[in-house]
């Protein structure tokens, strides 16, 4: 017994290990770049790698060096070239391979920087199968090449005719970022955000030019439909702060918040200060104690602040934690609140037509809220009686802890990003997913039949319809989008006509009543294989006809081919492969030029000649494809 106890608690010098910097990053990539992912979410690691390199270029631009950045992507190879000062040639290797090495610790050089201080490019280097950095400076250049963070070739310093600046080339390591793919729309948004926040900056990406003259005004014009706005966009600028505000004809609140050019997807102290300051300014202006939900209902706003030495709640900097703008300066709450109390109040006084339109929007929200009050109370009682968590929802174990701090906070935020709810139809499909899911972070909500087509209906139907009411309770969005229970909402239906119809009906529900869930990248479609091709040695799952043909060719000798007709036909053991680390899910995305109501009217409204023509034309295309296969 004594010997067994000694082995169990064995702890000596051999138990202590020291990892090289690149080994630690590769072992714990989530600590440095957040979740890994396959590229289906805008905050997946492959986008963070690109962002960390570009952030350094933006810092140079902010300091007044380099007006444009060239980015290319070809066959998985990414290159980023800026025209700033260039890395000091004697420090080229150190800057990309020694943790906590950089210029951003010197506040005189980088007063209000963006990147991961002393970490960013090191993380990119360690997580790339190939990484090369070249600095051009005053007629000379210096380059170094790495593989998975290990220096493989250091070039000698030599003469150069290139302009000053830095060139970085890298290929993400596919052993870490498995089955990854880039979605152009996510990169498009990222490049536009850089330009909105840095007037005059030009980004060239694979031949496309990005540039903005009007900052956040341009952002909101791109994100909204001018025909649906209640009043022209309010655009205000001050020292270290810029805001743009308008209201649309939709439900929810939509915000875009930034700190030092960093898109803080989870908000933080600056966004909280803006929401509070906006409500107070509106109440003071109209001299009426409106409910905050009525004031902010249907708002679409962007806020950007510049903060000296910002403090974030995690290494990936998606949520600001700073309580002050600069040391010894005003609190974030007072800084933003005072700005709105002065500049927004003045704007409304100077633009009475806008003030009147805004007042009408607030009063409309007030009427709708009071009409729903009684219905919501009954709906909440029905949801409790329905025993939601036993009959409709198989919840996951993980629950977000907002009180955690330090490294615990990073781990919790990383796991929160993994939380997923699968919305499926039918007992067999939901049963397979329930048995094969990761119970720690994955939940399952089972629909009963096809949902209601809610296009053109008011939010009253969300509370009166049992399925919709229970679904919003499962998601925990009955009161606020900010309380969303799961980061990923995955629609999991069969790939047949009925399954496609259910997808459309669910997407209509989200777009009609909770568009911010879609706009913020939370809604996905689960892809499951259509075929299983196997012989005695190997099994290959195929998601389309092309993959099937390739699998047949690879395995040869007439392998067994199974066609899955529905999710219920896939065994739980097999299903575990498709909802695990290599899960394929396609995001439901809205292009900037997409007008939600027009899209819903076209696809979910009454039959129109345009839609009939669309169906006929696409049916002909699909028939032509079938004939080619035959």
Q: Please state, in angstroms and rounded to a whole number, the distance separating the CA atoms of residues 573 and 594.
A: 40
Secondary structure (3-state) at 248: coil
CATH of 22-210, one of 3.30.565.10, 3.40.50.720, 3.40.1280.10, 3.40.50.10950: 3.30.565.10
pLDDT in tens, 496-521: 778 888 888 999 999 888 888 888 88
Q: Which helix (H) or strand (E) holds 210?
A: strand 208-210
Q: Please state, in angstroms and rounded to a whole number, the distance separating the CA atoms of residues 349 and 559.
A: 76
Backbone torsion region of residue 625, taken as left when φ is above 0, otherwise alpha when ψ lies between -120 and 50, otherwise beta: alpha
Q: Please state, in angstroms and rounded to a whole number, the distance separating the CA atoms of residues 47 and 444.
A: 28
The pLDDT, as a whole number, for residue 10 is: 60
> Is residue 341 packed enough to be buried (19+ CB in 10 Å), middle (13-18) or exposed (0-12)?
middle
User: What pTM does this model have?
Assistant: 0.78
pLDDT in tens, 115-168: 444 568 899 999 999 999 999 999 999 999 999 999 999 999 999 999 999 999
The pLDDT, as a whole number, for residue 117 is: 46
The pLDDT, as a whole number, for residue 497 is: 79
523: CB partners within 8 A, 6+ apart: 489, 491, 507, 510, 517, 587, 588
DSSP code of 312?
B
* 216-369: CATH topology: Ribosomal Protein S5; domain 2 (3.30.230)
The pLDDT, as a whole number, for residue 450 is: 86
The pLDDT, as a whole number, for residue 105 is: 42
Domain boundaries, the chain: 22-210, 216-369, 386-528+566-594, 532-563
Q: Please state, in angstroms and rounded to a whole number, the distance separating the CA atoms of residues 444 and 437.
A: 9
Q: Please state, in angstroms and rounded to a whole number, the distance separating the CA atoms of residues 173 and 79.
A: 15
Strand order through the sheet with 523-527: 393-394, 442-447, 420-425, 488-492, 523-527, 584-587
Residue length, the chain? 630
Q: What is the largest CA-CA distance in the chain?
A: 84
The pLDDT, as a whole number, for residue 17 is: 58
Question: Is 386-528+566-594 a CATH 3.40.190.10 domain?
Answer: no
What residue spans of 442-536 are helical by DSSP H?
A: 460-464, 466-475, 497-513, 515-519
DSSP code of 340?
I
- CA-CA-CA-CA torsion for 542, 545, 547, 553, nearest 10 degrees? 110
Q: Which residues of the chain have pLDDT under 70?
A: 1-19, 100-119, 314-316, 385-391, 401-410, 592-594, 607-608, 611-612, 614-630
DSSP code of 320?
B
Q: Are 422 and 433 in contact (CB under 8 A)?
A: yes
The pLDDT, as a whole number, for residue 101 is: 56
The pLDDT, as a whole number, for residue 481 is: 75
The pLDDT, as a whole number, for residue 401 is: 64
DSSP code of 41?
S
Residue 348 CA, chain-centre distance (Å), reads 34
User: Cα-flanking dihedrals φ and ψ of residue 382, to 5°?
Assistant: -65, -40
The pLDDT, as a whole number, for residue 136 is: 96
Q: For 267, how many CA atoms within 13 A lie in the half-sphere containing its CB? A: 14
Q: Please state, in angstroms and rounded to a whole number, the distance separating the CA atoms of residues 121 and 55.
A: 10
């Amino acid at each position: 017994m004594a010997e067994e106890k000694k082995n169990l608690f064995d702890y000596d010098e051999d138990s202590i290990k020291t990892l090289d910097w690149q080994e630690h990053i590769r072992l714990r990539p989530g600590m440095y770049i957040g979740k890994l992912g396959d590229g289906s979410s805008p905050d997946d690691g492959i986008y963070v790698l690109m962002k960390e390199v570009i952030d350094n270029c933006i810092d140079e631009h902010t300091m007044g060096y380099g007006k444009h950045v060239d980015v290319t992507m070809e066959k998985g190879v990414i290159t980023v070239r800026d025209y700033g000062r260039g890395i000091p040639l004697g420090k080229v290797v150190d800057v990309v391979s020694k943790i906590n090495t950089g210029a951003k610790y010197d506040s005189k050089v980088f007063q209000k920087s963006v990147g991961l201080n002393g970490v960013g490019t090191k993380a990119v280097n360690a997580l790339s199968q190939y990484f090369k950095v070249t600095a051009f400076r005053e007629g000379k250049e210096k380059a170094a090449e790495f593989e998975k963070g290990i220096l493989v070739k250091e070039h000698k310093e030599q003469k150069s005719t290139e302009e000053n600046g830095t060139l970085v080339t890298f290929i993400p390591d596919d052993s870490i970022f498995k089955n990854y793919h880039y979605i152009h729309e996510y990169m498009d948004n990222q490049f536009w955000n850089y330009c909105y926040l840095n007037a005059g900056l030009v980004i060239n990406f694979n031949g496309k030019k990005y540039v903005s003259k009007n900052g956040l005004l341009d952002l909101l014009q791109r994100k909204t439909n001018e025909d649906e706005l209640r009043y022209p966009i309010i655009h205000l600028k001050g020292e270290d702060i810029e805001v743009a505000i308008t209201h649309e004809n939709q439900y929810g609140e939509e915000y875009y918040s930034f700190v030092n050019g960093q898109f803080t997807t989870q908000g933080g102290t600056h966004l909280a200060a803006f929401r509070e300051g906006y409500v107070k300014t509106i109440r003071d202006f109209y001299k009426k104690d409106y409910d905050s939900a009525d004031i902010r209902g249907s708002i679409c706003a962007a806020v950007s602040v510049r903060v000296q030495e910002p403090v974030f709640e995690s290494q990936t900097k998606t949520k600001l934690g700073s309580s002050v703008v600069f040391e010894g300066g005003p609190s974030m709450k007072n800084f933003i609140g005072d700005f709105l109390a002065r500049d927004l109040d003045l704007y409304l006084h100077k633009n009475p037509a806008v003030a009147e339109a805004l007042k009408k929007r607030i009063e409309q929200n007030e009427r709708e809220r009071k009409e729903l009050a009684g219905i919501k109370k009954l709906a909440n009682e029905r949801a409790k009686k329905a025993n939601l968590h036993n009959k409709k929802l198989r919840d996951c174990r993980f629950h977000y802890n907002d009180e955690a701090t330090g490294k615990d906070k990073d781990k919790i935020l990383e796991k929160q990003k993994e939380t997923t709810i699968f919305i499926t139809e039918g007992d067999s499909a939901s049963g397979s997913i329930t048995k094969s899911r990761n119970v720690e972070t994955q939940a399952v909500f089972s629909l009963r039949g096809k949902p209601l087509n809610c296009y053109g209906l008011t939010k009253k139907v969300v509370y009166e319809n049992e399925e919709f009411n229970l679904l919003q309770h499962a998601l925990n969005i009955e009161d606020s989008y900010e309380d969303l229970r799961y980061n990923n909402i995955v629609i999991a239906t069969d790939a047949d006509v009925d399954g496609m119809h259910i997808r459309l009906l669910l997407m209509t529900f989200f777009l009609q009543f909770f568009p911010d869930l879609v706009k913020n990248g939370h809604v996905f479609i689960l892809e499951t294989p259509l075929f299983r091709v196997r012989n005695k040695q190997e099994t290959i799952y195929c998601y389309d006809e092309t993959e099937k043909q390739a699998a047949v060719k690879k395995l040869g000798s007439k392998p067994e081919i199974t066609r899955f007709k529905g999710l219920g036909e896939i065994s739980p053991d097999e299903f575990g492969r498709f909802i695990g680390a290599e899960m394929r899910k396609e995001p439901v995305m809205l292009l900037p030029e997409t007008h939600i109501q027009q899209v819903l009217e076209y696809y979910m409204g009454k039959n129109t000649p345009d839609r009939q023509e669309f169906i006929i034309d696409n049916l002909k295309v699909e028939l032509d494809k079938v004939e080619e296969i035959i």
